[in-house]
């Protein structure tokens, strides 16, 4: 039987699941939140006025309620990988046709969550440290890249889609790293369990997942971009969380840490060349398929709560739980 769920309940559920599957471990996340609380308490009153207090309970700056009353009840949700003005208008059009949308969820961040995307990239420093890179080196590698992403995002018109949702009165939120943590954890556990011997074996494992199998039909499935199908995989690391692509300088350190193959959502050409130079195999699993897998692992739980999910904008919806 379908029941109403509040927007705040959906948001809290996604943050909790993001922490649960955070590759750093929950203790590291709680330590981050404790540092954030201490930092806030040491601020001057005027500084606290400008502070986003969600940072005290949510460690992911790219996951936020962007518009709407958190206590509003939800029955039907429109969910997409990217939500822009067109998708907001789609939600309004669906309402005209008798399918009222109570909440729009974007995977990729918009509004203030997009403007703060760089902040979540510090997660990658801890992941590098887990692989054996000294934390001081990891922070040094990532520092310049985090600054680059912050400057890159600054000129963007962050609020276009949020403004459209506000004008039309449709609540809007985004769930980015909380979903990326799901796919990273899911695939890493799969690789660790199955221990693929070759890159071809890694591809086969990915294609067993319905999102990747469907993406193949759209010419957007898994591809080897460094290495060959018969090359041995070695240590396979799934690198799909932490905001966006990390530093090009990381590959020399990763190979020293024993990484043989990276499985990523996407990779730019400069990063690909650095991986190739350092003899690290790279498999691009597919951006929309990987994002879909991550968000699907969250949406299954929302359906269990009685919500109706309408997928759009690149989301390949597949349910795993009965």
Query: Number of folded domains in the chain?
Result: 2
Residue 317 is assigned to a structural domain of this protein:
no
Quote the tokens at residue 123. 């997660």
Q: Are residues 298 and 272 in the same domain?
A: no
Is residue 72 within 8 Å of 151, Cβ to Cβ?
Answer: no
pLDDT of amino acid 1: 46
Q: Are residues 63 and 129 in the same domain?
A: yes
What's the pLDDT band for 243 if we cut at 50, 70, 90? confident
Residue 196 is assigned to a structural domain of this protein:
yes
Q: What is the tens place of the pLDDT at every residue in 192-238?
A: 999 999 999 999 999 999 999 999 999 999 999 999 999 999 999 99
Residue 245: CATH number of its domain: 3.40.1390.30
120 has pLDDT over 70 = yes
Residue 321 is assigned to a structural domain of this protein:
no
Q: Are residues 12 and 115 in the same domain?
A: yes
Q: Report the alpha-carbon distance of residue 256 to residue 233 in Å, rounded.
A: 16
For residues 47-58, average pLDDT: 93
99 has pLDDT over 70 = yes
Q: Which helix (H) or strand (E) holds 260?
A: strand 259-264
Burial group, residue 49, by CB count within 10 angstroms (0-12, 13-18, 19+): exposed
Range of the domain at 279: 183-286
Q: Are residues 193 and 295 in the same domain?
A: no
Q: Which helix (H) or strand (E) holds 73?
A: strand 73-74
For residues 50-60, average pLDDT: 94
What's the pLDDT band for 2 if we cut at 50, 70, 90? low
Cα 39 off chain centre by: 26
3 has pLDDT over 90 = no
Q: Report the alpha-carbon distance of residue 309 to residue 111 in Å, rounded.
A: 23
This prediction has a pTM of 0.94
Quote the tokens at residue 322. 């009965």
Q: What is the tens place of the pLDDT at every residue in 124-163?
A: 999 999 988 889 999 998 999 999 999 999 999 999 999 9
Q: Are residues 12 and 128 in the same domain?
A: yes
Quote the tokens at residue 66. 């962007």
Residue 318 is assigned to a structural domain of this protein:
no
**Torsion angle of C-alpha atoms 191, 196, 198, 203, degrees rounded to 10:** -60
Q: Are residues 118 and 19 in the same domain?
A: yes
pLDDT of amino acid 322: 55
């Amino acid at each position: 039987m379908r029941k109403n769920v509040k927007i705040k309940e959906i948001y809290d559920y996604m943050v909790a699941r993001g922490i649960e599957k955070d590759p750093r471990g929950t203790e590291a996340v709680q330590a981050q939140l404790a540092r954030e609380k201490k930092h806030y308490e040491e601020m001057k009153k005027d500084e606290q006025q400008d502070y986003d207090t969600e940072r005290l309970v949510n460690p992911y700056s790219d996951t936020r309620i962007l518009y709407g009353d958190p206590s509003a009840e939800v029955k039907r949700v429109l969910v997409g990988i990217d939500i822009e003005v067109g998708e907001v208008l789609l939600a309004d059009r669906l309402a005209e046709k008798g399918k009222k949308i109570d909440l729009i969820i974007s995977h990729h961040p918009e509004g203030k969550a997009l403007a703060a995307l760089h902040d979540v990239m510090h997660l990658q420093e801890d992941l590098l440290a887990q692989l054996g890179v000294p934390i001081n080196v990891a922070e040094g590698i990532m520092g310049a890249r985090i600054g680059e992403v912050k400057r890159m995002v600054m000129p963007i018109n962050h609020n276009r889609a949020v403004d459209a949702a506000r004008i039309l009165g449709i609540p809007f939120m985004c769930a980015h790293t909380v979903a990326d943590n799901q796919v990273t954890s899911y695939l890493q556990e799969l690789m660790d369990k199955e221990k693929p011997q070759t890159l071809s074996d890694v591809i086969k494992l990915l294609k067993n997942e319905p999102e990747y199998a469907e993406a193949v039909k759209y010419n957007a499935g898994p591809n080897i971009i460094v290495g060959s199908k018969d090359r041995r995989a070695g240590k396979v690391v799934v690198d799909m969380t932490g905001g966006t692509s990390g530093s090009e300088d990381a590959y020399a350190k990763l190979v020293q840490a024993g990484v043989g193959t990276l499985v990523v959502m996407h990779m730019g050409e400069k990063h690909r060349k650095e991986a190739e130079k350092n003899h690290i195999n790279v498999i691009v699993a597919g951006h929309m398929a990987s994002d879909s897998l991550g968000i699907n692992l969250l949406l299954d739980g929302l359906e269990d709560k009685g919500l109706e999910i309408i997928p759009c904008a690149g989301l390949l919806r597949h349910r795993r739980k009965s």
